[in-house]
Amino acid sequence: MKISAVIALIAANVAVFVLQRQSTETIEVLFALWPLQAIDGPSRFHVWQIVTYSFLHSTENVSHLLFNMFGVWMFGTWIERSEGPRRFLVCYFASVVTAALTQLFVPMMFGAAPEPTIGASGGVFGLILACAVMFPKSRVAVYFLIPMPTWLFALLYAGIELFQGVTGTQSGVAHFAHLGGMVGSALVVTQWRARPRVP
Query: Is 170 within 8 Å of 161 (Cβ atoms)?
Result: no
Interval 66-90 mean pLDDT: 95
For residue range 82-103, what is the model confidence (pLDDT) as tens digits?
999 999 999 999 999 999 999 9
pLDDT of residue 109: 80
For residue range 38-53, what is the model confidence (pLDDT) as tens digits?
666 677 899 999 999 9
pLDDT band at 199 (very low <50, low <70, confident <90, very high): low
pLDDT of residue 88: 97
Find the CATH number of the domain harbouring 159: 1.20.1540.10
Spell 75-94 as b/e; 16+ CB within 10 A means b: bbbbbbeebebebbbbbbbb
Task: Tell whether 110 is covered by a domain.
Answer: yes
Task: Tell whether 80 is covered by a domain.
Answer: yes
Task: Tell whether 68 is covered by a domain.
Answer: yes
Task: Tell whether 129 is covered by a domain.
Answer: yes
Nearest CA-CA partner of 79 in 119, 133, 122, 121: 133
Q: Which domain holds residue 185?
A: 5-194
Structural domain tally of the chain? 1
For residue range 148-187, what is the model confidence (pLDDT) as tens digits?
888 888 898 899 888 888 877 767 788 899 999 999 999 9
pLDDT band at 195 (very low <50, low <70, confident <90, very high): confident
